[in-house]
Structures are given as structure tokens and as C-alpha cells.
């Protein structure tokens, strides 16, 4: 049975039993604790924890998931895959244990002809929590399983929680006996390779308190509404139903594996190490395809780094198999054909995905050539010194300078039998990141990210009454105030705190739109709103600075959004949609927004594209955008079901989570149709003007457009006009002739520079020849000392020039000094005959500079010499050389 059919049967089975079909959420998740969705329940987390009301009593989904914690185990075991699909059925206070067990047993064992999976009931084992007598009784009654195949296990295996206070409960797992050829008899407690887990039923019925790990925490009591969360591993079920040994051999991955083996000229099954590498390639190529299709872009941080690591591991695995040519485009197309029947978006976005992957492969192949040489040299030095550990500073240099990821350094060093000082590397990385993020932390210092402190507020008062779409003013009550150390009853003048209101007109930063600015005004306090965030689903938190009086919990305030700020924000957000549509109109559908940010008057938009846009393309994009403003296209908002929105062609941002009903913003109808929760103008002409200000690279295969709109747009164009006017006046030329005039001037300047360079070189050669002819004799060695005004680089070039003009048959030493950076540098050069006579440029520089500087015996350099000592130091060279 093909994997797509297993998927279809699962969804159909639960749809027939009253479950709402919920599409898979994109892999990137807005949950700040996760990079990617890593379990089927993640999109339903707010409903299961009670943070939000579920829109349906029961639901079913097949959720795309990525886990990379065990990435080193990929290919080495039968159970680890970085990408997998989790079939799930969920109940939100509706049915409970009996129905969940009955559903799982029926679908697993029903004949294939009746829509089931046809698993042999006599080969199914189940586990239950050792305290869950109810589940054991239900399994006996519903399935008829004997007691010996209902195994009791402890908290580590059969009790679920999220690791923090909140819902928890026992679980029951289904295992299938794959036969004696794969391991020992005795059930899953004995061998989980032979007995493969394929379904887990979680019975959320309790609330847990604080405590570490998977056990030892207190159970506070029963939940008011009991939930069901189940997960059936799609790849594991495919492994069972397709009769293969592991998940790398199912129909969605085996074709990639076989093509990789064909390219590398190896046979799968012929050797353990080759098999592991082929499995890594099969798994990672599919994972990369799914991440790329969901908008993740290779990068150096967060999600981008995970994707980059996966791509590079697959490329390097092919090189280890002996295949040196570019490989990703060849393998990705096969993965696309395997996955498109279940996920049409991988075919729709394939052009963009393969371009990004190819760009990453090109970059990595270059990185490998450079970094491998550096790493091999460093490892050789460690071994020559009798060491077994590569310094952390060396690993950091490989990462920071050569783009060599630490994971690759660890792998390659291990292949040489050398460890890496991981702690030293991590400390250097931490220092770098802390420096980079210092400003961001300062800007967000009001504590809006402290979700643990805000949780009790949400539990007591529920979600914020959010009015940003409807009004700029609300009468509000202060529900809570949080300072740097936690809740406070009052905030005084000058203090910055986080304020939670019962209702608010302020837009919280999301969807690429910056938060609103404005004020809170009350009878006893005035406060400036600095930032607005959603630290918990449904809860809006305001970072405010009290400007006068005292702001107290329970106080009534008027919350007012700055109308000019909001107008600018609406213009920028609508302008982003217009620019996105214009971009796709000119470049085609692959130019799909992968990130954006807009604030009043300003916007930026990132999109996948290989190579810089031409001036013509930029002009056409800007013109298409402004034509939409000139036509005053209508801007409308509609609510509809997600499938209907997708059918209309609405574009969804990859990192957003959408409910049963979605908000679709249209500009000119189908011309721009996107799912969006931001604030917008009523018609396109309100944007005013859109002026592109820059186009740049933000990573391999990724470009960024920046633009200004509204008043800022007109101001930018006015500045450009004034600049052109001043240039025209200075050149005394009509504006239309400026490009030709400036090009001619630049041409003349370049010609003059070339002539000046030629004359300088002539002068340098003449001076070098004169100095070489006047070389002094020091015990049979010709010595030249001199200064130059051309800085350190000029001194280096001058020293080499003089050395090369000395008589080839005589030993020669040249020392050139130059003032640089408030001090002086020295460059020493020794010819080959001088080296044979025992002269050493590096040793000479160190002697002249009291141990500083260095280089090779032929050419060395050092600095830190006070400029006043330069002449005296050069006079000492003759005596030092004579004594050598």
C-alpha cells in the first residue's frame, strides 16, 4: 500500500466519524520554543492546553514534522528520520479513552477491502501505564487481546506531559511484531526493533505541577475537560504495510536512495557504511525539499541553519560515496515526484526550491575546498604536536571565516581521530551572538516575553479583547503590570513595565508589521506605549513608559493609537502586498515572498532569486507597483474557510498559523490576494507612492527589496530630485545628459588613475634600482634600509622590489620602514642566497621589534614600533646583519 493511500485512508476513516479535516500546518512554527513543528499535536497546542477554544469538538490531520535532535542517528537505525508525517485524531473535551482505543483498533485491523490497514491482530501488542487499569480493561474488551500482550510500563514510557506545568496523562502505544528475523521474542519491553511502535494514544486527563523530567512532579488534579491526542507514524505504517526493513526503503524515499546509489556507482545492501550514507541522502533530500517548499531558506541561524546543515550533510555523504559532481537538482526532482501526490505545494514551488538548493550546493562545494584544506592543516599540526584535540578557536575560525559549520568540523575531525574543543567553540559563538543581540535585548527590555509571569494573568482573565481592526481608541482596564522582576501593583514616573489591558486598540507585532505606538491616559497617569507583543496566543502585552503620575493595577485608562503612526503602518503593509504582487507580475510566480518587515513609511521584502536584479527589472517592478496605486485598486477583506482561500489562490505566509476561518486581504481582487492579519488602507491610492530604495543579497539565493511609501516616499523622491539638481548645476549640464557626462568623467578619472599608477610604479622601480645599487656591505651581505610613505602594503611591495634587484650571486637583506596607524611597521626581505648564508627575515624582524612580528624566512613583517624610533631602528640593521 503506497504511503499516499495510507494517508488517504486515515483521513477518510476519521472524517466519516465526525472529525474535521485540518490541513497540515507549515513546518516553520510561530511557537517561540520551537523552530519547526516536531509533533502532530503542535498546531493544536493552544486547544489542548486551554489557551484557546477549539473551533471543533474533534479533528484529524496528517502533520508534517521535522526533528533534528537525533540527526547523527539518521541512517544508522531503522527508526530515526529528520522529516516524518504524523497521522493524528484529536478530541477536545468530546470523546475519551474508549472511543480512541476503538478507533485505533478498528482502523489498524479492518481488512484492506473494508478501508482498513489489515494488520494481523495476533501480532499487535499494546502498552499501558502501570496505573491505568481502565485502559487495560478497555483493550481487553474492545480488542480481545490476551493479558500477556497488554504490557504495563512506567512514567518514562507511558505517561505524557509537555515537560512544564499543564495537561498530562497516561498513554497507550500500539506495537507490531515484525517477526523473529528482526529480534528477540517477548514484546516491546524486550526489543523495539522487532516490535515496532506505530501508534500512540495520549489520554490527557490530569494537570501536573512543577517538577523535573518525566516523573516526580505532583499531579494537581483532574482537568475540567479531558482531551485525546493520538499520533500514528505514517512512515512506520508504510514500513509495515510495504514489507520493508526500515523507513528509508518506503516508496517516498527509496527512489531517492536508488538514484543516489546509481550516481555514486554503489549497490545498496553491499556495505554498512555505504548504506548509512545512502540513507542519510534519501532522508535529508526529502527533508530539505519539504523545508524549502514551506519557505525556509538556507542561512546561518535558526531554521536556516537547520536546512543548511541538512543540505550539506547530504552533499558530503555523496562525496564520501565518491560522487564529486553537483547532485541536489538530480535528487530533488525525484523527491518532488514522490511527495507531490500528498503535498501539491512541493511541485508548485519546485523551481524556487531547486534554485535555492543549487545555490547552496555551489557555495558549499567552494566552502569544502577551502575549509577542508584549513582543517586538514590544523589537524596535522595538532597531531604533530602530540595532541588529540582541535582548539575551539580553530573551529570558530573555520565557522566564522570559512563558513564551515561546527557539525561538519566535528564529523571531519572525528574521521581523523581528533576531538574538538566544543566548549571553547561554544563560548566564542556565545560571545559573538551576545554582541549581535545586545541592542535587540535592550529594545525589548520591558519583559513582554516572560510568558511564565503572564500565564496566571491569562488563566484568570482569558484572551485580550483586541480591537485593532476596528478602532484607534478604547476605554480599558489595567489587569496586570510586570516589572523586570515580576508583577508589581504600581508603576511610577520614568519606569518601563509590561501592561496587560482587558481590551486594546493596539496592533501587536506580527505578520511582518511592527507594533503600534500611542499612549495610555488615565486620571492619575500618562504612559507612552513603546512596544506591543503577543507572548501567549490571545494575550496582548504592552511595553509602556510612565511619563507622569502612577499607573496602577485596576486603573481605568484610555488607550489611544497614534493616528499618524497607524496611517503610515497601513500604507507600508498594503505597500508590501502591492510590491509582492508587482514582483510576481514581472519576475513570475517563483518570486514568492519569504519574509517581510514593515513600519510606518518603510518596508522590506525578501524573496528567493539567484543573482541581482537588473536596473530594468527594478524599474519595471516599481512601475507595476505604482500603476496599481494610480489605478486606485480597491482593498478588501474577506473571511473564509482555508480550503476556499487556497482554491482562490490566496498566498499564505509560511510562518503563520491559521484557524478554521482565515482573513484574506485582496488588492484589485485576484491581482493581490494574501492571507493576512495586518492593518491596511481602504484603497491603493492611499499608499501615495512606492519608491524602491535598494535591492541587495541577504544570503545564498535570497534577495531583499526595500522601499518607502506615503510621505516618506515623497520625501525620498524630493531628496533624489534635489541631488540630481545640484549635480546638474555643478556639471552645468541638462539632466538628460547627466548619465553620459558622469560616465565620461569616470572614464577620464580611471584613465588618470592608471597613468598615475604607471608613473608611481616607474618611480618605485627607479628608486628601488638606485637603492639596490647603493647597498652597503655587512660582512659579505648586501644590506638596504629605507622608508616609504605608502604604508604597510607599500613597504611590503617596495621591499620585494629592492630585494629582486640585488645581484643574484650575493646574499642580500632589505628592511623597509613606514609610518602606519600612529606608529611604524617594518618589512624585511631576504634573497635565496641570503637564506643559504643564514639570514632569516622573520628572526630579524622579531629582533628589531623585541619579539613582535613574524612571517617566513624570506619575507616578514611587524608593527607596534613608535614612529620616533623608526630611523634609529633602521640604522641598527647593518650591525645586526653583520653579527649574524
For the ranges 77-91, 296-310, 327-341, 586-600, the maximum mean pLDDT occurs at: 327-341
> Considering only CA atoms, which of 676, 674, 680 is closest in space to residue 635?
680
Q: Is residue 91 part of a domain?
A: yes
Cα–Cα dist 331/283, whole Å: 11
Q: Is the pLDDT of residue 441 over 50?
A: no
Cell of 671: 491581482
The count of other CB atoms within 10 Å of the CB of residue 222 is 11
Given a contact cutoff of 8 angstroms between Cβ atoms, the answer to whether 466 and 679 are in contact is no
Cα–Cα dist 89/227, whole Å: 11
| DSSP-derived secondary structure for 144-202 | ---GGGEEEE-HHHHEEE-SSSEEEEEEEEEEEE--GGGS-SS-TTT-TTTEEEEEEEE
Q: Examine the fold and report which residue of 247, 262, 284 is the final residue of a domain before the chain moves on.
A: 247
Q: Examine the fold and report which residue of 204, 219, 247 is the final residue of a domain before the chain moves on.
A: 247
Given a contact cutoff of 8 angstroms between Cβ atoms, the answer to whether 227 and 204 are in contact is yes
Q: Is residue 840 part of a domain?
A: yes
Percentages (nearest 5) of helix, strand, coil residues in the chain: 45, 25, 30
pLDDT of residue 537: 84
Q: Is residue 747 part of a domain?
A: no
Q: Is the pLDDT of residue 438 over 50?
A: no
In total, how many domains does the chain have? 5
pLDDT of residue 439: 40
Nearest 5°: phi and psi at 187? Answer: 95, 180
Is 577 marked as binding a ligand? yes
Residue 407 buriedness (CB in 10 A; 0-12 / 13-18 / 19+): middle
- Say whether both 411 and 514 belong to one domain: no
Helix (H) or strand (E) holding 8, with range, is helix 3-15
> Considering only CA atoms, which of 828, 827, 839 is closest in space to residue 780?
839
Q: Is residue 482 classed as helix, strand or coil in its secondary structure? A: strand
Q: How far is CA 82 from CA 285, 530, 652, 822, in A?
A: 10, 40, 25, 56
Q: What percent of the chain has pLDDT over 70?
A: 95
Q: Is the pLDDT of residue 433 over 80?
A: no
Q: Is the pLDDT of residue 663 over 70?
A: yes
Cα–Cα dist 675/665, whole Å: 6
Residues 6+ apart with CB under 8 A from 417: 388
| DSSP-derived secondary structure for 740-789 | HHHHHHHHHHHHHHHHHHHHHHHHHHHHHHHHHHTPEEETTEEEEEEE-S
pLDDT of residue 437: 47
The better pLDDT of the pair 503, 420 is held by 503
- Say whether both 179 and 323 belong to one domain: no
- Say whether both 609 and 506 belong to one domain: no
CATH number, position 853: 3.10.310.40
Cell of 769: 634600482
Q: Is the pLDDT of residue 581 over 80?
A: yes
> Considering only CA atoms, which of 160, 157, 162, 156 is closest in space to residue 33?
162
Is 676 marked as binding a ligand? yes
- Say whether both 236 and 262 belong to one domain: no
Helix (H) or strand (E) holding 316, with range, is helix 302-320
Q: Is the pLDDT of residue 406 over 60?
A: yes
pLDDT of residue 451: 66
Q: Is residue 262 part of a domain?
A: yes
- Say whether both 578 and 553 belong to one domain: no
Q: Is the pLDDT of residue 446 over 60?
A: no
- Say whether both 629 and 674 belong to one domain: yes
Instruction: Flag the least confident range among 221-230, 565-574, 647-656.
Output: 647-656
392: Cα within 13 Å, side-chain hemisphere: 10
Cα–Cα dist 160/49, whole Å: 13
pLDDT of residue 449: 44
Given a contact cutoff of 8 angstroms between Cβ atoms, the answer to whether 533 and 509 are in contact is yes
Q: Is the pLDDT of residue 568 over 90?
A: yes
Given a contact cutoff of 8 angstroms between Cβ atoms, the answer to whether 10 and 24 are in contact is no
At which residue does the C-alpha cell 541536489 appear?
A: 328
| DSSP-derived secondary structure for 804-827 | HHS-TTS-EEEEEEEEETTEEEEE
Q: Is residue 531 classed as helix, strand or coil in its secondary structure? A: strand
Q: Is the pLDDT of residue 144 over 90?
A: yes
Q: Is residue 739 part of a domain?
A: no
Given a contact cutoff of 8 angstroms between Cβ atoms, the answer to whether 734 and 709 are in contact is no
Average pLDDT of 842-860?
88
The count of other CB atoms within 10 Å of the CB of residue 107 is 22
Residue 480 buriedness (CB in 10 A; 0-12 / 13-18 / 19+): buried
pLDDT of residue 883: 86
> Considering only CA atoms, which of 269, 237, 246 is closest in space to residue 193?
246
Q: How far is CA 394 from CA 401, 436, 843, in A?
A: 10, 21, 26
The residue count of the chain comes to 884
Q: Is the pLDDT of residue 368 over 80?
A: no
Q: What is the largest CA-CA distance in the chain?
A: 108
Residues 6+ apart with CB under 8 A from 427: 392
- Say whether both 679 and 555 belong to one domain: no
pTM: 0.64
pLDDT band for 632, please (50, 70, 90 cuts). very high
Q: Is the pLDDT of residue 726 over 50?
A: yes
pLDDT of residue 296: 87
- Say whether both 516 and 433 belong to one domain: no
- Say whether both 400 and 527 belong to one domain: no
CATH number, position 695: 3.30.980.10
Q: Is the pLDDT of residue 838 over 70?
A: yes
Cα–Cα dist 639/641, whole Å: 7
Residue 553 buriedness (CB in 10 A; 0-12 / 13-18 / 19+): middle
- Say whether both 288 and 369 belong to one domain: yes
pLDDT of residue 442: 41
pLDDT of residue 791: 84
Q: What percent of the chain has pLDDT over 90?
A: 57
179: left (phi over 0), alpha (psi -120 to 50) or beta: left
pLDDT tens readout for residues 229-266: 999 999 999 999 999 988 999 999 999 999 999 999 99
Cell of 727: 549635480
Q: Is residue 730 part of a domain?
A: no
Q: Is the pLDDT of residue 198 over 70?
A: yes
Is 65 marked as binding a ligand? no
Cα–Cα dist 520/501, whole Å: 10
Q: Examine the fold and report which residue of 247, 280, 305 is the final residue of a domain before the chain moves on.
A: 247
- Say whether both 527 and 615 belong to one domain: no
Given a contact cutoff of 8 angstroms between Cβ atoms, the answer to whether 261 and 267 are in contact is yes
Is 573 marked as binding a ligand? yes
> Considering only CA atoms, which of 283, 277, 309, 306 is closest in space to residue 294?
306
pLDDT band for 764, please (50, 70, 90 cuts). confident
Q: Is residue 737 part of a domain?
A: no
The count of other CB atoms within 10 Å of the CB of residue 555 is 19
CATH number, position 483: 2.40.30.130
pLDDT tens readout for residues 378-399: 888 888 888 888 888 888 888 7
Q: Is residue 738 part of a domain?
A: no
Q: Nearest 5°: CA angle at 589, between 587 and 593?
A: 90
- Full residue range of the structural domain in which residue 651 is found: 566-715
Q: Is the pLDDT of residue 808 over 90?
A: no
CA end-to-end distance (rounded Å), the chain: 84
Q: Tell me the average pLDDT of the chain.
A: 88
The count of other CB atoms within 10 Å of the CB of residue 852 is 13
Nearest 5°: phi and psi at 790? Answer: -95, 20
Beta-bridge partners for 638: 664
Q: Is the pLDDT of residue 364 over 60?
A: yes
pLDDT of residue 544: 95
- Say whether both 477 and 571 belong to one domain: no
Amino acid at each position: 500500500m503506497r504511503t499516499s493511500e495510507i494517508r488517504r485512508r486515515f483521513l477518510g476513516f476519521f472524517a466519516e466519524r465526525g472529525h474535521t479535516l485540518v490541513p497540515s500546518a507549515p513546518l516553520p512554527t510561530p511557537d517561540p520554543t520551537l523552530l519547526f513543528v516536531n509533533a502532530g499535536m503542535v498546531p493544536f497546542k493552544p486547544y489542548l492546553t486551554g489557551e484557546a477554544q477549539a473551533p471543533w469538538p474533534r479533528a484529524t490531520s496528517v502533520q508534517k514534522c521535522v526533528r533534528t535532535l537525533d540527526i547523527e542517528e539518521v541512517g544508522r537505525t531503522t527508526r530515526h528520520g529528520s522529516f516524518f508525517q504524523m497521522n493524528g485524531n484529536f478530541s477536545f473535551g468530546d470523546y475519551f479513552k474508549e472511543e480512541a482505543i476503538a478507533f485505533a483498533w478498528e482502523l489498524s485491523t479492518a481488512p484492506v477491502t473494508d478501508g482498513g490497514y489489515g494488520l494481523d491482530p495476533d501480532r499487535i501488542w499494546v502498552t499501558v501505564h502501570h496505573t491505568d487499569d481502565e485502559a487495560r480493561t478497555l483493550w481487553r474488551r474492545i480488542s480481545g487481546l490476551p493479558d500477556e500482550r497488554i504490557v504495563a510500563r512506567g512514567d518514562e514510557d507511558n505517561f505524557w506531559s509537555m515537560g512544564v506545568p499543564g495537561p498530562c496523562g497516561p498513554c497507550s502505544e500500539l506495537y507490531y511484531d515484525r517477526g523473529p528475523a528482526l529480534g528477540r521474542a517477548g514484546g516491546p519491553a524486550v526489543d523495539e526493533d522487532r516490535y515496532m511502535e506505530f501508534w500512540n494514544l495520549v489520554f490527557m486527563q490530569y494537570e501536573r505541577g512543577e517538577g523535573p523530567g518525566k516523573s516526580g512532579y505532583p499531579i494537581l488534579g483532574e482537568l475540567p475537560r479531558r482531551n485525546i491526542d493520538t499520533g500514528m507514524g505514517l512512515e512506520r505504517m508504510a514500513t509495515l504495510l510495504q514489507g520493508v526493513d526500515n523507513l528509508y526503503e518506503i516508496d517516498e524515499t527509496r527512489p531517492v536512495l536508488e538514484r543516489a546509489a546509481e550516481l555514486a556507482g554503489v549497490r545498496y545492501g553491499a556495505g554498512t557504511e555505504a548504506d548509512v550514507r545512502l540513507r542519510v541522502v534519501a532522508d535529508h533530500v526529502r527533508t530539505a525539499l519539504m523545508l524549502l517548499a514551506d519557505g525556509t531558506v538556507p542561512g546561518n541561524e535558526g531554521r536556516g541553519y537547520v536546512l543548511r546543515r541538512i543540505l550539506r550533510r547530504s552533499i558530503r555523504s555523496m562525496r564520501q560515496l565518491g560522487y564529486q559532481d553537483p547532485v541536489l537538482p538530480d535528487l530533488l526532482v525525484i523527491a518532488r515526484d514522490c511527495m507531490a501526490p500528498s503535498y501539491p505545494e512541493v511541485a508548485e514551488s519546485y523551481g524556487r526550491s531547486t534554485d535555492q538548493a543549487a545555490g547552496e550546493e555551489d557555495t558549499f562545494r567552494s566552502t569544502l575546498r577551502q575549509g577542508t584544506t584549513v582543517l586538514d592543516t590544523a589537524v596535522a599540526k595538532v597531531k604533530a604536536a602530540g595532541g588529540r584535540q582541535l582548539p575551539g578557536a580553530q573551529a570558530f575560525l573555520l565557522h566564522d571565516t570559512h563558513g564551515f559549520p561546527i557539525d561538519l568540523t566535528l564529523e571531519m575531525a572525528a574521521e581523523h581521530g581528533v576531538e574538538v574543543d566544543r566548549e571553547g567553540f561554544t563560548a566564542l559563538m556565545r560571545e559573538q551572538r551576545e554582541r549581535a543581540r545586545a541592542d535587540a535585548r535592550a529594545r525589548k527590555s520591558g519583559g513582554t516575553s516572560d510568558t511564565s509571569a503572564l500565564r496566571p494573568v491569562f488563566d484568570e482573565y482569558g484572551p485580550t479583547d483586541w480591537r485593532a481592526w476596528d478602532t484607534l481608541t478604547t476605554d480599558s482596564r489595567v489587569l496586570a503590570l510586570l516589572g523586570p522582576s515580576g508583577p508589581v501593583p504600581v508603576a511610577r514616573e520614568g519606569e518601563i513595565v509590561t501592561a496587560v489591558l482587558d481590551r486594546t486598540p493596539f496592533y501587536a507585532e506580527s505578520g511582518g508589521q511592527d507594533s503600534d505606538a500611542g499612549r495610555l491616559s488615565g486620571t492619575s497617569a500618562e504612559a507612552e506605549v513603546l512596544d506591543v507583543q503577543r507572548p501567549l496566543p490571545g494575550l496582548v502585552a504592552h511595553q509602556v513608559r510612565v511619563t507622569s503620575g502612577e499607573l496602577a493595577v485596576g486603573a481605568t485608562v484610555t488607550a489611544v493609537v497614534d493616528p499618524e503612526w497607524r496611517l503610515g503602518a497601513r500604507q507600508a503593509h498594503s505597500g508590501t502586498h502591492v510590491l509582492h504582487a508587482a514582483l510576481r507580475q514581472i519576475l513570475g510566480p517563483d518570486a514568492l515572498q519569504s519574509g517581510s518587515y514593515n513600519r510606518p513609511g518603510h518596508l522590506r521584502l525578501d524573496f528567493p532569486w539567484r543573482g541581482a536584479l537588473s536596473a530594468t527589472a527594478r524599474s519595471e517592478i516599481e512601475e507595476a507597483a505604482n500603476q496599481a496605486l494610480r489605478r486606485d485598486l480597491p482593498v478588501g477583506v474577506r473571511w473564509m474557510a482555508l480550503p476556499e482561500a487556497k482554491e482562490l489562490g490566496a498566498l499564505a505566509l509560511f510562518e503563520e498559523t491559521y484557524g478554521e476561518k482565515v482573513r484574506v486581504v485582496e488588492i484589485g481582487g485576484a491581482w493581490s490576494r494574501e492571507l493576512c492579519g495586518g492593518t491596511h488602507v481602504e484603497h491603493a491610492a492611499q499608499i501615495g507612492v512606492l519608491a524602491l530604495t535598494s535591492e541587495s543579497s541577504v544570503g545564498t539565493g535570497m534577495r531583499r527589496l526595500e522601499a518607502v511609501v506615503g510621505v516618506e516616499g515623497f520625501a525620498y523622491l524630493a531628496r533624489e530630485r534635489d541631488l540630481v539638481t545640484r549635480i546638474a548645476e555643478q556639471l552645468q549640464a541638462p539632466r538628460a545628459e547627466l548619465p553620459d557626462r558622469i560616465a565620461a568623467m569616470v572614464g577620464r578619472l580611471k584613465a588618470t588613475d592608471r597613468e598615475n599608477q604607471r608613473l608611481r610604479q616607474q618611480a618605485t622601480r627607479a628608486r628601488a634600482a638606485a637603492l639596490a645599487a647603493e647597498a652597503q656591505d655587512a660582512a659579505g651581505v648586501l644590506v638596504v634600509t629605507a622608508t616609504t610613505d605608502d604604508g604597510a602594503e607599500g613597504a611590503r611591495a617596495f621591499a620585494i622590489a629592492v630585494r629582486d634587484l640585488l645581484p643574484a650571486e650575493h646574499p642580500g637583506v632589505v628592511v623597509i620602514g613606514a609610518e602606519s596607524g600612529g606608529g611604524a611597521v617594518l618589512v624585511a626581505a631576504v634573497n635565496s642566497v641570503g637564506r643559504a648564508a643564514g639570514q632569516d627575515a622573520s628572526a630579524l624582524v622579531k629582533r628589531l621589534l623585541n619579539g613582535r612580528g613574524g612571517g617566513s624566512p624570506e619575507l616578514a613583517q611587524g608593527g607596534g614600533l613608535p614612529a620616533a624610533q623608526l630611523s634609529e631602528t633602521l640604522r641598527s640593521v647593518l650591525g645586526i646583519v653583520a653579527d649574524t
